[in-house]
Structure 1
Amino acid sequence: MLLLSHLLSAQESALQWYKGNTHTHSYWSDGDDFPEMIMDWYKSNGYHFISLSDHNVLATVERWKQIPAHPFRQQRLKQYIEKYGQEWVNTRTDSSGQTEVRLKTLPEYGPLFEEKGRFLIIPAEEITDGYQGKPVHMNAINVKELIQPQGGNSVAEVMQNNLNAVYAQRELTGQLMFPHINHPNFGWAIKLEDMLGLKGERFFEVYNGHPHVHNYGDSTTMGMEELWDRLQIQYLKDGKPLLYGLATDDAHNHLEYKVGLSNPGRGWIMVRANELTPEAIISAMEKGDFYATTGVELQEMSFDGKKLEVEVKPEPGIEYTIQFWGAGKKGGQPKVLKEVKGSKATYSLRKNDLYVRAKILSTKPKVNPFQDGDRETAWTQPVISQKSSGR
């Protein structure tokens, strides 16, 4: 018994927090920068893992990019050449006299940045699909082979078909991977009723830094947090697993920073894992051992099957409010179950609680926010009582 206790303590002490983003774009699709420059930004800004999730493509084929005449783009090309050298950068002139650059593949640029235990690039694709003009997008994280958009006869069917395709590849290859549904309110495309019947939906974006995704909804359409809670209630009542929320930046604009552009650094996840590998990161996420944030950092986050504890890593002069959100088992609506002013709070699940999650609000303004007036915020993943979970 003593040996087991020592082993468990050793495993727990080996766990580390890893900062990562699973949704961003480059010249491989509709981003405005070279993958090497983007990787350098994330690594230099304290990220441990990143997924370039370009639309319907994996960076494993030959692709040439015409560099637009815009001064920002031309200046970036100059900086790219200065940083990596003429021998690294392959250019040519097309029939119209414009400069084209061969984009480096992940096997080419990955070794420049990846370091064991420090920085990891996880292959990804944004499966970009739609139905009757409505954009239906889903990321496939740690995907091994390109997944073509599967289509369908409704928004719900398009999502389900693409979810199935990711899980089919996971089963066929034996490689851990997962899908997450992106920005449901982008184009007001995905409604609550479209997602209620999904099978295999475990992750979606509760926060996305792109300025056009309507994170907060409007007078007729619910925002991402309400959508998360309402899906959670129905999924649990249907016997489905917990639904986890991600924060991503969905960056497309890497050259100019301001509100109204899609910039890096707006949202990310913090994953607690025993090593920096795709397998360890995904395994931890599938257990809910991570939180989403736009800046608030947690000192501790724990759940013993009955009690959820949250402690913020406080910043001088910043005030925090910790809210515990949840719903009752008997048809209750999502609501704040408890609110604490301060950097540390605990919630003990009651018999009637269907689930509980924490939201941490700060008074610190978000630098380069999704929307003017935003404050740094974090969201823990929902938990259910040990008895309810069957563990």
Structure 2
Amino acid sequence: MLRFLTFLLIILIATSADAQQWYRGNLHTHSYWSDGDDFPEMIVDWYKTHDYDFIALSDHNVLAEGEFWKLLPDTEEAQQGFEAYHNKFGEDWVVYQTNSEDRTEVRLKTLKEYRPKFEKKGEFLIIQSEEITDGFDNKPIHMNATNVQELIEPQSGSSITEVMQNNINQVREQRKQTGQPMFPHINHPNFGWAITVDDMLPLTGERFFEVYNGHPLVNNYGDDERLGTEAIWDILISNYLAEDKPLIYGLAVDDAHNYHNYDGEHSNPGRGWVMVQANELTPEAIINAMEVGNFYSSTGVALKSITYDDQTLSVEVESENSINYQIQFWGTKQGAGREEMGTLLNEESGTKASYQLKDDDLYVRAKIVSNKLQQNPFQEGDTEVAWTQPVSN
């Protein structure tokens, strides 16, 4: 019944697309509040001026509240960044001092302070988030909480799965207690080769994970011995459907930390984002749309439309001149073994394509691959791609 209602909502939303808008956002970003290398106002300004509609600053185990003085790194880069910040926002806004060692300390602005500078109803939104940074057996286990209302401390556990489940439970409990929509998502499972697909299979209440993360150290593509994130995704979808769990959706995010040096060795903004089709630009509308799969993830390819009707997934690309597109449909057949989960069901060249699910198809998702090189990729030669969310019979 739950699966049927989910797909019914997808169909209803797709058929009422004229009443909705596409909103572009990044759900994973870091600032000086943790291990990013710039001020939150500079980061938010970057996203706002680069045609994003919403941004989530998700610093490690901290919310941007209370008094916090940042001792700037003793580098020319940090000093230049401070001067840019001071010049942009002015003496009346920037609060700083020089310590006994002639080092600059800056009082970081809280979300409550800087939010009014940027937010405008229907035009730009900041969603409070946290990267719950935990671990087990020296392996990094990170999960974002989107639209979190109160800080969630890392919950720990006796296994990788238990650590994730304990943190998922805390997000869900806070959602229940506050009545505010929020969701957890699993970050970069291959970072440090920490989280395997088998660690994720037993989870309950997990609906999202990062199929693409723009950090150069997260191993999106796997290696000769370990699965890439797309292969992980297909195994998760297949097994979740077999167990009558809700579908798990794939996010593309920046995981931006570095805002001064732009190259493949740094984790820069602008590499991955989600495009959400919602009826308004609010946390509630964005989260509600995402939870029924009404979004796609991208590293550059824009989609004009996605519909799922009469067991047919249809995709149309917002094409660019002289750019070629391959529209791939990936899925799993009923009864498939793990090695056969996530196979290419069909592929077409062009800007429009459809796939009608067969009786033995568990699900289908679309991947759109262009021949346009991605701007500032973390891996040289990467082209722009988009991923739709899976749909099922």
- Which range, TM-score by smaller chain? over 0.9
RMSD: 1.4
CA contact (8 A) 2:131 2:143 kept: yes
Q: CA deviation at 1:243?
A: 0.5
Letter in 2 for 1:148: E
Match in the other structure for 1:368: 376
Match in the other structure for 1:187: 192
CA contact (8 A) 1:123 1:144 kept: yes
Normalised by the length of structure 2, the TM-score is 0.95
Tell me how far apart the structure 2 counterparts of residues 139 and 248 of structure 1 sit (CA, whole Å).
Answer: 11
5 Å-filtered alignment, 1:255-274, equals 255-274=260-279
Match in the other structure for 1:248: 253
Q: SS of the residue aligned with 1:351?
A: coil
Please tell me whether residue 51 in structure 1 is matched to residue 43 in structure 2.
Answer: no
CA contact (8 A) 2:299 2:385 kept: yes
Normalised by the length of structure 1, the TM-score is 0.95
Please tell me whether residue 327 in structure 1 is matched to residue 319 in structure 2.
Answer: no
Tell me how far apart the structure 2 counterparts of residues 18 and 132 of structure 1 sit (CA, whole Å).
Answer: 39
Match in the other structure for 2:7: none
Tell me how far apart the structure 2 counterparts of residues 127 and 340 of structure 1 sit (CA, whole Å).
Answer: 40
CA contact (8 A) 2:15 2:307 kept: no
Match in the other structure for 2:67: 62
Q: SS of the residue aligned with 1:146?
A: coil
Q: CA deviation at 1:8?
A: 9.3
Tell me how far apart the structure 2 counterparts of residues 366 and 342 of structure 1 sit (CA, whole Å).
Answer: 19
Distance 1:303 1:253, change over 3 A: same
Letter in 2 for 1:45: H
Q: CA deviation at 1:14?
A: 2.1
Distance 1:305 1:66, change over 3 A: farther
Q: Deviations over 1:338-366 (max 9, x none)?
A: 00011110000111110100000000000
Match in the other structure for 1:205: 210
CA contact (8 A) 1:11 1:274 kept: no
Q: CA deviation at 1:181?
A: 0.3
Q: CA deviation at 1:13?
A: 2.2
Match in the other structure for 2:28: 23
Letter in 1 for 2:390: P
Alignment gaps of 5+ in structure 2: 1-11
Tell me how far apart the structure 2 counterparts of residues 314 and 88 of structure 1 sit (CA, whole Å).
Answer: 43
Distance 1:346 1:11, change over 3 A: closer
Q: CA deviation at 1:93?
A: 2.2
Match in the other structure for 2:3: none
Moved over 3 A (4+): 7-12
Tell me how far apart the structure 1 counterparts of residues 16 and 212 of structure 2 sit (CA, whole Å).
Answer: 31
CA contact (8 A) 2:14 2:307 kept: no
Please tell me whether residue 347 in structure 1 is matched to residue 352 in structure 2.
Answer: no
Q: CA deviation at 1:330?
A: 1.9
Distance 1:9 1:183, change over 3 A: closer
Q: CA deviation at 1:11?
A: 5.3
Distance 1:161 1:44, change over 3 A: same
Tell me how far apart the structure 2 counterparts of residues 69 and 75 of structure 1 sit (CA, whole Å).
Answer: 11
Tell me how far apart the structure 2 counterparts of residues 10 and 153 of structure 1 sit (CA, whole Å).
Answer: 46
Q: CA deviation at 1:94?
A: 2.6
Match in the other structure for 2:76: 71
Tell me how far apart the structure 1 counterparts of residues 275 and 148 of structure 2 sit (CA, whole Å).
Answer: 21
Q: CA deviation at 1:373?
A: 0.7
5 Å-filtered alignment, 1:92-111, equals 92-111=97-116
Q: Percent identity?
A: 61
- Counting matched residue pairs gives 379
Tell me how far apart the structure 2 counterparts of residues 10 and 130 of structure 1 sit (CA, whole Å).
Answer: 43
Q: CA deviation at 1:98?
A: 1.0
CA contact (8 A) 1:321 1:339 kept: yes
Tell me how far apart the structure 1 counterparts of residues 367 and 113 of structure 2 sit (CA, whole Å).
Answer: 40
Tell me how far apart the structure 2 counterparts of residues 27 and 157 of structure 1 sit (CA, whole Å).
Answer: 30
- Residue 41 of structure 2 is aligned with which of 36, 42, 64? 36
Tell me how far apart the structure 1 counterparts of residues 119 and 105 of structure 2 sit (CA, whole Å).
Answer: 27
Q: CA deviation at 1:148?
A: 0.1
Q: CA deviation at 1:187?
A: 0.5
Tell me how far apart the structure 1 counterparts of residues 390 and 274 of structure 2 sit (CA, whole Å).
Answer: 15
Distance 1:305 1:286, change over 3 A: farther
Tell me how far apart the structure 2 counterparts of residues 11 and 243 of structure 1 sit (CA, whole Å).
Answer: 23
Match in the other structure for 1:235: 240
Match in the other structure for 1:388: none
Please tell me whether residue 128 in structure 1 is matched to residue 133 in structure 2.
Answer: yes
Distance 1:117 1:195, change over 3 A: same
Q: Deviations over 1:106-161 (max 9, x none)?
A: 01000000011110000000000000110000000000000000000111110000
Q: CA deviation at 1:68?
A: 1.2
Q: CA deviation at 1:9?
A: 11
